[in-house]
Structure 1
Amino acid sequence: MRETRMLNPHARFASFVVGSSNRLAATAAKAVAEAPGAAYNPLFIYATPGLGKTHLLMAIGHGAQEIDASRTVEYVTVDDFVEAYHAALAAGQAETYRRRFTDADLVLLDDAQLLTGRRELQSELLRLIDLLTAADRQIVLAGDRPPEEIQSLDERLIRRFAGGLVIDIGAPDYETRLAILARRAEERHVTFSAEVLATVAETPIGTVRELVGALNRLVAQQAVQSDPITAAEARQLLGALGHAPVADPAATKEGSGAGFDYEAPHQDEFSDFLTDLSSTVGQQVDRWRRRVTEVSLRHAAAGFRTARLDALLATDIAADPEDTVSRFEADVAVLRILHAELAEVAPTLLREAALHDPDRLAEAEALVAEAREAGEPLSGPMPGMTLEAFAVGPSTRSVVEAVRVAAESPGQGYNPLVIVGEGGTGKTHLLHAFGHALAARGLRRIAVLDAAQFVDGLVSSISDGTVDRWRHRLRRVDALLVDDVHGLAGKERSQEELYLVYNLLLESGRQLAFSSLVKPGLLVGFEPRLATRLSGGLVVELGAPDRAAKLREVARLIGEGADDVDLVEYLASRTASSIRELQQTVQRVIVAAAARDVPLSLATVRSIIEGDIAERPPRRGSGLLAPASGAIRSREKMVETWPDIAERMIEEWR
């Protein structure tokens, strides 16, 4: 099966010369590259062959990957697509081939005019466009004619194209041709005089491809002659290539009187005055109209509505419209500021229509203010729960090391990180410690919440009708750490929301971490697609605390008293199935010692834990003795060892 074509490394925005004939197309292309799926989807660029539409198509792919290298870009011509699709059908891999494009972030389809008469291909393309746009993935097409002029093109495709942006590239004007020639000459490390380049630029060449071909001919000629090419020689070479020769300006001036003689009709002074006035007014109006049109096209290409300027163009412009244009541009500038803020607070709201319409500026400001209020950061890691404060021992050292390594390359190494352990083994502490370590690496928005907080937040947002805001808060974090994720078992909606935010954060290279009582594969009441994703990261398991970990934790908790080795040994030797249980024991004796107003010592701790034996009331014996013979005798039946009156049982004395 033929692979999709690679992008030409030279076809980039930096090497694309922008002029009046292609400015709108170039602006739209850059907008698509910067935010695939957000601005114009689909984008259809058409132009006659040789005007740069393929260059622009590939530049979009390069531009998108320069911004985010993880983006997948597929460039293919219609012919290549058909050939590869038929090969996939024959091999029984049609669905695999389809996924190649439906899973791409950006699909670039060239030579769209070849869709003519290909019903099966048109159906595939319609399906592809619908899938890509629904998933906010971008598709860009290029052809040599507008969609409505492609014969036998499905009306549904025409409507899909019209729903995005259809834009053309015109023939380059003189200034653009001159700029193209100058840049190409510089790239070839060849120097021509300004007159030679001007001569070529003045030649009525309709396509960039032919223009570059003419330049190549000059380059070849200059390489074989010792003297630089002159303008006259350039005209001669262009004529030999079949281009209409450009008249020598000097010859034109000298022979200007040799043409046919035309005498303008005589006009009186009043007619001359009206002609001059009409010409002046016409030029002024044209200048104003060009100014309004330029501003309208520029901002429309950036995705802003231009109804205010369009309404102005629909009328006869009798006065200088600069005030209207200035106010419009000022409103757009405010919208751009709002865009930048919203991109940080709630990026998914950037598609709201009000944010792209200067006539709805007040509505846009209210929307951003609302998002700003809802965008307060979620709770972060708890103070004190750091790696330095964690009791490290042989049974936990590997887990702590994994946390350290994961924090060194957030979102790249171990993602997600899943810490498994029984209650009280320290998994919550380690999760918060991971948050602190991420903050030390420069991450600013770190959210640490447990499953109960996740569910409560979702339920509350559903009740208030603010689910989108709740999602925005989660989706804008640099790292999301969820404690006791097993608590989401059986909660389908919560798992669905976690699944969505998980995919978004993972795809954008942001860190995820979880703690759980059991390994992800053993979670009961969990969606398999979520459980498998948790299993796909690094799963580390905490065991019961060992002696070394207990000693370190006791020493940390009692502080100054840690110098008393016997005291530390005694407390660490107490039976405790978890670090949490040990912490509770130590905290209890510290509080009890403070209440008695006595120093924390081994004797004090023994007294608190074991109690004062002397103060205990005597325990009542059973009254039974075990003689050497092995038979059991009752002391109450032995007069020589008459018991305490309290222990006598008269009923047994018989």
Structure 2
Amino acid sequence: MAHIESDPRYSFDTFVVGTTNRLAVAASRAVAQAPGSSYNPLFVYGASGLGKTHLLVAVGQLALKLHPGLRIRYVPLDEWVDELHAAVASARMDAFKTRYHEVDMLILDDVQFLAGRRETQSEMLRLFNFLHRGGCQIILASDRAPTEISDLDQRLLTRLSGGLIVDLDMPDYETRVAILQRKCEERDARFETGVIEAVARLGHGNVRELQGALTRLVAFQRLGEIAVTSRNVCDLLGAEASPEAPAPAASNEFGNFLSDISVAVAQHIESWRARLGEAVATWNERGYRTASLERALSGHDVPDVDVLLQSFAAAVARLQALERKAAASDPALARSEVFRNPDRLAEAEALAAGAPGVRRLPPQPEARFSRDTFETGSSNQFAIKAADAVVREPGRRYNPLYIHGSAGTGKSHLGHSIGSEMLASSGGAHTVAVLGADAFSQELITALQEGGSDTWRARYRSLDVLILDDVQNLTGKAGTQEEFFHLFNALFAEGKQIVLMSDRAPRALEGVEERLRSRFEGGLVVEIERPDQSLRERLYARALSTLGHEPNVDLVSYLAARTTATATEISEAVKQLVLHLGDVKELTVAAAQTVFGKPRESAGSGKPAHRVVTSRVTAIASEDGSFFLPTDKTIWEWPDVGGRLIEELR
């Protein structure tokens, strides 16, 4: 986002201060209160998920509140780089420089991405020098200290290190408890004594993961109707780390002294003219025409200011949505003046609707995977309740929603059904995409080959709902992970719903960057387990009915008792059964036993025995010197055909 928007989630009031972040918070408040006069630049660094972006936005909001005319730009570095490249490509460097030279406070996030970009560093150095000489306040954030950013121009390193450098560290036990208690208040969640403390003692890597753990417990209590206690916290969270004992609180007189820097600012009630005047100045600075507000300001009648400002903001929001849709087809349309004037909203609607290719959408949910055909059981009911909650309140309850489970358990089915329900509930107004990580990566490659990456990127950033399957396939694809990281941030910042599916939990993702894994952990993580006996019976019954056979109780019970197969394996097994029996009109247990045989119990175990026996085999040397086992000298013995079928389907 280019400008600071009012967002109560990211204020100093909602930032819990502890011993590990007190200096950073105190310095940030001082900068907001007196921009350009102290700590310039201010460089904040810390690992992913510790609150850097929260702190940056809080600085901007407080500075704007204390200094209403202040021109502030907040921009992640990748967006600044995109703007730079677009300016170079369109020969509009003068406009680009003017846009940034006119700011009073520049807030740059994720500056670690300057690493290795020599030409970008040169332009950043020129911008830095110009702003700093003019007294502009510069605030930067990174996941590492300036000296740890690799391949950084020495002159730029000197500039970045020339002010105050403060770090954010993982909060201590007491601060973690305070954070969890604050989040419980915000969500109106209540737990029995000891639960919050138990969560705080677990070794979570950052605040985002800590909040993700709380989200899961709230969901367990509300959706799963499970009483969360201090005794079952570890089991419910699947905590892989041993509880961390709280460290004794250290004396921090210097930190207490720094916290006294905060100065209480008295708020005053503005007249309606002052409010409108401030709104006109704010929207003009953001590039929007304000004729309707100016007419009200110059009139003699006292307008309903709240209604007027809300109506204007809604019109701007609609213009922004139309601009994104138009830009997905033709990036040049985004520069159209019509998208900057709320009085021309009808023209903007017509332009966006008539843009060639603007209706080209990312992959849509498949109708065959409906919610009605998804069988519910104890192994998946928690995931289904979470999915239903997401459909009711997209982007608000569980974002992101991360569903994991072994292949064939129904993750993809559930993901597509969520997408279909989202479309239906919005009357088709929502833009929904459902695709796999491999397809996402291939689309990116194609866009890069065709030189249409800007159009592709704009199309995905205009989504209302993104559902990405097979997240584990992001492994080893650095470019795709980079693109998805920025897409995730853009959608999340706008409150758009993100749903992810994988065959493993976030903490088990290998080859996926920590900053992404941390964001996955920050939402609600739910598992779909292999179906139990009851669910298998319903799955077998549905599969038989689909193929036109009566699912009598005895047959279904017989089939379900034989295996712990997944939904996919059950469907394939029934197809093979029907194919093997041919024209048999009525499937019975006896008929099925001609294919699968009678269950054989292993000695003392009470479970069917499936054994594999091989005959004596001679290893034969091939021409290249390797060895193999000839298939004609290998005998595979199953107790029945059904057992073999299950082995071949695994």
TM-score, normalised relative to structure 2: 0.45
**Where is the helix percentage greater, Structure 1 or Structure 2?**
1
Which has the larger Rg?
A: 1
TM-score, normalised relative to structure 1: 0.44
